[in-house]
Amino acid sequence: MTLQISNLEEYKEAYRKSVENPDMFWSEQAETFSWRKKWDKVLEWDFKEPKVEWFKGAQLNITENCLDRHLKTKGDQTAILWEPNDPNAEVTKLSFRQLHAEVCKFSNVLKANGIGKGDRVCFYMPMVPELAIGVLACARIGAIHSVVFAGFSATALADRIKDASCKMVICSDYNHRGKKNIPVKQVVDEAINQGCESIETVIVHKNTGGDIQWNENLDKWWHLEMIGKDPVCEPEVMDAEDMLFILYTSGSTGKPKGVVHTCAGYMVYTCYSFRNIFQYKDGDIYWCTADIGWITGHSYIIYGPLLAGATTIMFEGVPTYPDASRFWEICQKHKVNQFYTAPTAIRALMAHGDEHIDKYDLNDLKVIGSVGEPINDEAWQWYNDKVGRGRAPIVDTWWQTETGGIMISPLPNITDTKPCYASYPLPGIQPVLLDSDGNELRGNDVEGLLCIKYPWPSMIRTTYGDHNRCKQVYFSAFDNMYFTGDGCRRDEEGRIRIIGRVDDVINVSGHRMGTAEVENAINEHEAVIESAVVGYPHDIKGQGIFGYIIVQDQEEISDDFAKEINAIVTKVIGPIAKPDKILIVPGLPKTRSGKIMRRILRKIASGDASNLGDISTLLNPEVVDKIKKLAGLI
Ligand code: WT7
């Protein structure tokens, strides 16, 4: 089995080894997997291009490592434990053997529908076992999955389908979400009507059985396709650097980009990080509450846990249905040992009151994790006291869609925890702090831009269809560095605290939004001339979205303007991108070169305009006081 560090000495030793001899360190990790052919070279890299190749020459199939490898020893152990939205509905348990058979059957469905190695398959589904089965089936036959979070709009889905020229979409009829049923198939139909010509087949999983429109040319039922399919499917033999999946994420400019991960490195790193950060022991029940539409679900619901032979819980519902006890009830019911969630959920549940948690038996919890955004002190303390009961340590895990796996995190009961600190890098990860000129800040007690100076196996390889974009966004800010886009602080003892994005990316409830994306959506309203969107501190969501909007004719603006803006943003991106506040303004503060000074807008949005710094270089400094007045700050 992959290394599992068990004390501080081992951590230090592993870290030292990983820096002094990375090839040896990573080949030792990789040894423990099953390979069709071993690698010729551990690592070849050049951040300038960028080109990063791990385990070159090796051949494998990741599902052989997630499934087949465990059949002898763990065939009857539960691999996926599915907890439905309705607390009274039956739990589904799929053993490794059953999951293997389902994945093989669906692999054969994919093949029968003309999907093969290298084809792109889009998923737009709720958190049901079929999503995991479908994703793994793609990996088994070498097709590339592109999972789109089912909260995105038809337009956003169509953009992603087109960008990757997907041949197939897999969806459900409806999604259960608390009390509501969401018409997912209808969204897929709308997306396809927006010119997704590459789509040849839509496979529909019957989830609620509600009415849907049926398109004879494209649509096929999942359950009918599965009938009579062989539960055996030989895995496609993949090269180490063959593409495994695409996952879209937002950046500061343009449309979302498809982050590409490849087979071998992603496999080695997600298993390694999972085992160490959650200190998973055989027989433990592990639960990550994320959605598989995000990287957290890919790496730490599906791949990492299954590679490590873990029992992983998939939860269909929401934290507040039927009430705010649901998470703790599930923890008690399934005797969860490792629990992994997001600060926004912690803050929301905290606000519902302690009576929802105090009565539950959470004694089986050994590790509790946080991911996706900075966790504030109050939420950290509540999580530590109420959920961890001062006994199960918090792992505040920092990473990104692009890093593929957790990069900086405490190791439970091995390294210490400090509120709001992601703490220490995992062995193999070499973070550096830079000042804005690119000088490395070597000492402790410093603040700077977070970069990574050496490759790690699960790092982004390219942005789909546009390698230059990958180079520009991540490898051009500083020479020979991967730039994360985050600012951070290193304390006196070397622990890292993530402060947040330093680019135009907003983190709303742990969801990444590009300001440009939201602005483009707002600008589609016919009355809007220009807009600027910034993040501001929000009690529950971490950051809220504040939109400054210039309109053609203020007199013509209807009372429903805010509603209209919300409707447009919902249509173009999805409800998660709706502005929390909008302000109609006569102009936007701009530099002489025409760039919006977002720094000023962020300050005003935060409700504090006392110290705006130097505004004399603005093209239109007079607009600042006007905006302040409209915001009620003077
Ligand atoms: C951004 C990446 C990684 C899975 C979910 C989000 C922020 C992530 C933390 C943390 C403070 C965090 C960063 C990062 N972030 N984890 N523990 N503490 N900030 O993935 O959508 O790619 O977003 O989320 O700003 O850059 P993502």
Nearest protein Cα to ligand 1, atom 18? 374
pLDDT in tens, 324-338: 999 999 999 999 999
DSSP labels, 185-252: HHHHHHHHHTT-TT--EEEEE-SS-------TTTEEEHHHHHTT--S--PPPPEETTSEEEEEEE--S
**Taking residues 570-598, what's their average pLDDT?**
95
Please give the mean pLDDT across all residues of the chain: 97
Q: Is the pLDDT of residue 614 over 90?
A: no
Pairwise CA distance, residues 462 & 51, whole Å? 9
Residues 177, 180, 182, CA angle at the centre, nearest 5°?
75
**How many angstroms does the Cα of residue 484 sit away from the middle of ligand 1?**
10
In angstroms, the CA 299 to CA 297 distance is: 6
Percent of the chain's residues with pLDDT above 90: 97
Rounded to the nearest angstrom, the distance between the alpha carbon of 405 and the centre of ligand 1 is 11
Q: For ligand 1, atom 11, name the residue with the nearest CA.
A: 374
CA 116 to chain centre: 26
Neighbours of 633 (CB within 10 A): 14
Q: Of the residues 252, 400, 451, 483, which should be mutated to test ligand 1's pocket, given the most ligand atoms within 8 Å of the CB?
A: 400
Q: SS3 for 453-511, per residue?
A: CCCCCCCCCEECCCHHHHHHHHHCCCCCCEEEEEEEEECCCCCEEEEEECCCEEEECCE
pLDDT for residue 611 is more than 90: no
Atom of ligand 1 nearest to the CA of 401: 22
Residue 628: C-alpha distances to residues 506, 525, 531, 598, 612 (Å):
22, 24, 16, 14, 11
**Residues pairing with 434 in the sheet:** 440, 449
pLDDT in tens, 505-552: 999 999 999 999 999 999 999 999 999 999 999 999 999 999 999 999
Q: Is 65 exposed, middle or buried (CB count within 10 Å of its CB: 0-12, 13-18, 19+)? A: buried
- Amino acid (1-letter code) at residue 479: D
Q: How confident is the model at residue 155 (pLDDT cuts 50, 70, 90)?
A: very high
Q: Which residue's CA is the nearest one to ligand 1's atom 27?
A: 400
Look at residue 613 in the predicted model and tell me its pLDDT. 87
Query: What is the 3-state composition of the chain as percent helix, strand, coil, each rounded to the nearest 5?
Result: 35, 25, 40
Cα separation, 470 vs 487, in Å, equals 20
Cα of 373 vs centre of ligand 1, distance in Å, is: 5
Give the distance (Å) from ligand 1 centre to CA of residue 452: 15
- pLDDT at position 55 over 90: yes
Looking at residues 399-428, what average pLDDT do you find? 98
Q: Which helix (H) or strand (E) holds 600?
A: helix 598-605
Ligand 1, atom nearest to 485 Cα: 26
Using a 6 Å CB cutoff, which residues line ligand 1? 249, 294-296, 371-374, 396-401, 422, 484-486, 498, 500-501, 507, 512
What's the pLDDT at 502?
95
Q: Which amino acid is at 332?
A: Q
At 128 the pLDDT is 98
Question: Residue 2: pLDDT above 90?
Answer: no
The pLDDT tens digits of the residues spanning 370-389 come to: 999 999 999 999 999 999 99
Judging by beta carbons within 10 Å of its beta carbon (0-12, 13-18, 19+), is residue 594 exposed, middle or buried?
A: exposed
Ligand 1 center–CA 127 separation, angstroms: 21
Question: For a pocket test of ligand 1, which of 149, 503, 507, 509 has the largest count of ligand atoms closer than 8 A to its C-beta?
Answer: 507
The model's pLDDT over 301-320, given as tens digits with 9 standing for 90+, comes to 999 999 999 999 999 999 99
Mean pLDDT value of segment 184-194: 98
Instruction: Please give the sequence-ordered ranges of beta strands (E in DSSP) within 355-465, or none if there are none.
Output: 367-371, 394-397, 431-434, 446-452, 462-463
| Structural tokens at position 545 | 């979205």
Each residue's pLDDT tens digit, 617-626: 899 999 999 9
What does the pLDDT read at residue 290?
98
Best CA proximity match to 59, nearest among 241, 232, 233:
241
Q: Which value, in Å, is the radius of gyration of the alpha carbons in the chain?
A: 24
Instruction: Look at residue 31 and tell me whether its pLDDT is greater than 80.
Output: yes
Span 193-201, average pLDDT: 98
- Strand 243-249 relative to strand 257-262: parallel, antiparallel, unpaired? antiparallel
pTM above 0.95, yes or no: yes
Measure the CA–CA gap between 362 and 37, rounded to whole angstroms: 44
Q: What pLDDT, on the 0 to 100 scale, is given for residue 421?
A: 98
- Residue 254's pLDDT band, with cuts at 50, 70 and 90, is confident
Choose the residue to mutate in 371, 383, 473, 576 for probing ligand 1, maximizing ligand atoms within 8 Å of C-beta.
371
Q: Residue 573's pLDDT is what? A: 97
pLDDT computed for residue 302 by the predictor: 99
pLDDT of residue 252: 85
Q: What is the pLDDT of residue 153?
A: 98
